[in-house]
Each structure stands twice: as structure tokens, then as C-alpha cells.
Structure 1
Amino acid sequence: MERAIPILPADDLHTARDFYVDGLGFTVTFEVSDDGTTGLLGLERGTLRLTIDAPMSGHGREACVSLEVDDADAYYEEWGRRVRIGGPPQNESWGARTFNVIDPAGNTLFVMGPTRQSDSG
């Protein structure tokens, strides 16, 4: 199997862990840190995988990753109870239903699922 796993920058590994595990329901697959603040954090939720690097220097900041899911509305409802989300899912003209979440380091999680026939926008 081939797969791409996005690496997102963070300022504090502990803050990122709280957001992704407690807020978004990911589980930790690995954690490498000497102080709990800096290091690497591997995360997964179903088939979604991410790596958090704190501090990630030399690779840019404010990254964006697309997460393709079966039901964007289900993720919106679940995550919206625990973290701040900018706006509700909407059908896009290019054929996806989307919303986004900004993590504590300013990275965007762009969630995409199938459109809903009963919702025009």
C-alpha cells in the first residue's frame, strides 16, 4: 500500500495532542519527545493519518491538509461539540461537501465529503 501522511507544524506538542486527541478524536500512534513540548506526534483516525512536528522549522507554517471522509456533516457535528469551527458544511460547485477547522498552530484541516442532494449550498 502507498499512502501520503501530511506533516503539520505545531508550536507545542502538548497543545497539539490535546486538540487532535481530545478535540478531534484521533489516537496517538507514536510520540517522540524529551520534554512533552517539542518532538513528533503520530496520529490516526480510521484511515486518516497525520504527523505533528513541534517545532517544524524550514518547511513553512500555516499548512493545509485535505481530509476525505464519508460524511462531512457527521464530522462537523462531532467536532463542533469540542472545537471551534468557522462555518457549517456546504456543497461546492466542484462536487464536494466541505468545511474547515483551524488547529492551534494555524494549520487548516479541509474536510471533504460527498455532496448532499437536499442541500444546495
Structure 2
Amino acid sequence: MLRGTLSARRVVPIIRSEAAQESREFYGLLGFEEVMNHGWIMTLGSPAAPAAQISVMTEDATAPVTPDISVEVDDVDAAYAAVRANGAEIVHPLRDEEWGVRRFFVRDPSGRVVNVLSHL
């Protein structure tokens, strides 16, 4: 197993759904509140533990696929270089997004699409 100097800051599962309002209400029953909403993606978080989050997405605004999980890292450029050097499939290239993140999508060994990002 390779181990680098990268540090994961946050991991958020993403649920693809056309029922955003219903999902907000359902996860509200479990203690989550809306912390971000761009219309196409909404993130719900726990007021008691802000790192506990889940996102609900209808579709990705700029990528060809909907990711399964988001991993925020301390250095997205280093993460991009590492997964490319390892031969992983890049699903969405590294780019700066208008909502303040730099990100790329990569397919993990099980076929899941991972949104790897850092905030700008």
C-alpha cells in the first residue's frame, strides 16, 4: 500500500436523487440541516458535528457523471498527480470551478467515481 503526504480533510457521501426536498426532510429527522445549496447539489450537516455531512445531487453541473463520494484533500494538485501516476482513470479533468473549488473525478478500483477537491 502506498502512503503519501496528502491529507484528507473531509469525506462526504453523495446520493443521486431527484427528491431533494424530501431528502432534506428525511435527513432532518436524523439531525441534519442544510449547510449549502447550489440548486443541483445540496449538502446537509450536523450542527453538533459539522464534519458529519451528506450531499444530495440531481446531476453534476460541469461533469459528465455524478460522483459517489467527495474527498476534500489539502493539495488537490498533488492528489491528481498521484492518481495519474498510479494509472487510475480520470473521469473529469482537474479544473477550477466557479463555486470556489479545484477538483477532478477519478474512478476507484470498485468502479465508484470520487470527486477529489480542495477549496480555492
TM-score (norm 1): 0.42
TM-score (norm 2): 0.42
Higher strand share: 2
